[in-house]
Amino acid sequence: MTASIEIRRLYDSLQPGSEGGFRLFIDRLWPRGVARESFVFDLWCKDLAPEPELRKWFGHKTENWPKFSDQYRAWLRRDNQQRQIRAVLDQAGTRRIVLLYGARDPDHNHALILAQEMNRLR
């Protein structure tokens, strides 16, 4: 049995709630306004977040989403990132995985693409 993957905005899920599971913080930068002691997660996967240049270019502009998602997906499919994703999946085991991200837009953020790639590798 493999773990399910949930996506949650970290500002709505600072503390573990009923979702339980293996909580992965997946942003490269620490979230604004969040004290380290108030945010509970199991693993910070900043190396799986989009590279700074791509993140800055995207700028959370919906018109950039198609190209951003293609480039980020291609980057995640490189050998090094594939090994990192597999290591995270192994670490999570059969627990539910909760991807925690900081972006405001729930429909255009890197967590969606990372979750797809994680599901593809299971």
- Total domain count, the chain: 1
Q: Tell me how far the alpha carbon of residue 61 is from its chain's centroid.
A: 18
Place of tokens 């945010």: 39
Q: Which amino acid is at 61?
A: K
Place of tokens 């980057």: 75
Q: Which amino acid is at 32?
A: R
Q: Is the model's pLDDT at 118 over the cut of 80?
A: yes
Q: For 10-27, write each residue's pLDDT tens digit.
A: 998 888 876 679 999 999
Contact, 8 vs 98, CB < 8 A? yes
Is the pTM for the entire model greater than 0.85? Answer: yes
Distance from C-alpha of 1 to C-alpha of 114, rounded to nearest angstrom: 20
Residue 89, domain extent: 5-121
- Which helix (H) or strand (E) segment is 44 a member of? strand 43-44
Q: For 28-86, write each residue's pLDDT tens digit.
A: 999 999 999 989 999 999 999 999 999 999 999 999 999 999 999 999 999 999 999 99
